[in-house]
Each structure stands twice: as structure tokens, then as C-alpha cells.
């Protein structure tokens, strides 16, 4: 018997091959078994280590020992949104609150909250969890605390009129004046309490929590 090396694509495999003579006395070969991949860390290395242990020999550690795969981060959707944000000139929205004495990077908070709403909408705390799963482009700013987002929202609310006017100026060239369809972002608020009121705006429905709760839009 001997070892035969075969190749499939970019990978090399080791096979255990036996030589024999057929009924006519002619030499032939047959594959007894495939031992596995020859690349470092492949099945052949595992087999060699097992045979060494069987003989009482300490296996030579592989260069891949201890190698672990970690979760990848999403980048494509964030890159596309960053390019769209830049091409629309949305960084200029910061002029709406330029004179405010904000202690946080309001523009970075706004950008991240908008991206999160488009990619994986959730709560403000959900934004921080989402940030751990994405790769942000350089210069996107750093938001590490829930309070940063809440303070940014306070600033945006305080200057909402100026922000709306600036946003309208930036978007006006892209919008046909004969506009017929508008998408508006809405949210629901769940309310506790069982009191029934006349003309109550609260209604039972599937809430964000996944439960049936009284809520209003």
C-alpha cells in the first residue's frame, strides 16, 4: 500500500491505495480509503496526531491550534447609506442646531439612529446593541452611551422647525411637485391599565414586545 495525492480545485487530498493483480495477472491499483485534506489543520493532520498518541508520542502542535472564528460585522448596507447620506448633503443638517450648547455629537447620533431605523429598527438601547454588529466608516463618530442618544433627541426636538426647513431645502430638488405618495414613519405606544373610556384611542393589538397589548399610534 502507498499514499496517493490527488487534487480537486485548490485542495489536495491523501488517499490510501493498494496495488494488486487482477485475474489476468495484470498490475492494478484500487483506493482503499480517502484520508482527507492535506492542508494544515485538515483531516490528515488529525489522523497523524491520533496515530502519534496511539504510539505514545506527543503530537506536534498545529499552527492553527487555538484558532477561533468570530462573528463578522455588517458593512455593505452601512456603506451604501453613508454614501447616500453624503451625496444628499445631510451633514449640513447640523446648521440647524449650530448655536446650541450641546455636549454630545448630535449629528453622529442622528446619523446612527437613521441608519439603525433603516437597517434594523429598534429602541434607543437597541441602537447601541446594533452598533456592536456593524462596521462603521471612518469619521462616523463614536456613540457609546444611551444618554448620548437621548440628549441628541432633546436637541433635535428643540430645533425641529429649523431642522425640518433645512431638510426640506436639501430634499426639494429630488421631489416632484406633483407628489402623490408619502411614506411617514409612525410608532406605537403600549399603555397599561384596564379602564374603558368613551372614544378611547387605545386598542388591543400586537405590540413591539410581541404581546397583545392596549396601544395607540
Q: What is the pTM of this model?
A: 0.53
pLDDT band at 176 (very low <50, low <70, confident <90, very high): low
Ranges of H-type helices in 132-174? 146-158, 160-171
pLDDT band at 201 (very low <50, low <70, confident <90, very high): confident
pLDDT higher than threshold 90 for residue 80: yes
Helix (H) or strand (E) holding 190, with range, is strand 189-190
pLDDT band at 83 (very low <50, low <70, confident <90, very high): very high
Q: What is the DSSP letter of 25?
A: S
The mean per-residue pLDDT over the stretch 179-204 comes to 79
Closest to 216 measured CA to CA, from 185, 187, 184, 193: 187
β-strand partners of 13: 6, 37
Tell me how far apart the alpha carbons of residues 177 and 171 are, in angstroms, rounded to a whole number: 12
pLDDT higher than threshold 70 for residue 125: yes
Which percentage of the chain shows pLDDT scores above 90? 16
Q: Indicate the SS3 state at residue 80.
A: helix
Amino acid at each position: 500500500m502507498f499514499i496517493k495525492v490527488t487534487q480537486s480545485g485548490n485542495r489536495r487530498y491523501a488517499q490510501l491505495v493498494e496495488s494488486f493483480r487482477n485475474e489476468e495477472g495484470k498490475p492494478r491499483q484500487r483506493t482503499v480509503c480517502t484520508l482527507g485534506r492535506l492542508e494544515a489543520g485538515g483531516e490528515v493532520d488529525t489522523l497523524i496526531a491520533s496515530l502519534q498518541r496511539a504510539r505514545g508520542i506527543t503530537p506536534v502542535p498545529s499552527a492553527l491550534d487555538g484558532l477561533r472564528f468570530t462573528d463578522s460585522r455588517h458593512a455593505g448596507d452601512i456603506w451604501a447609506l453613508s454614501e447616500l447620506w453624503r451625496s444628499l448633503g445631510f451633514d449640513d443638517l447640523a446648521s440647524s442646531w449650530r448655536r446650541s450648547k450641546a455636549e454630545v455629537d448630535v449629528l453622529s447620533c442622528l446619523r446612527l439612529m437613521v441608519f439603525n431605523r433603516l437597517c434594523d429598527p429598534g429602541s434607543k438601547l437597541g441602537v447601541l446593541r446594533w452598533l456592536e454588529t456593524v462596521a462603521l466608516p471612518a469619521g462616523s463618530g463614536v456613540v457609546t452611551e444611551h444618554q448620548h442618544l437621548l440628549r441628541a433627541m432633546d436637541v433635535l426636538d428643540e430645533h425641529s422647525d429649523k431642522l425640518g426647513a433645512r431638510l426640506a431645502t436639501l430634499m426639494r430638488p429630488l421631489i416632484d411637485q406633483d407628489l402623490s405618495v408619502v411614506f411617514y414613519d409612525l410608532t406605537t405606544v403600549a399603555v397599561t391599565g384596564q379602564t374603558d373610556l368613551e372614544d378611547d384611542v387605545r386598542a388591543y393589538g400586537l405590540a413591539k414586545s410581541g404581546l397583545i397589548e392596549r396601544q395607540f399610534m
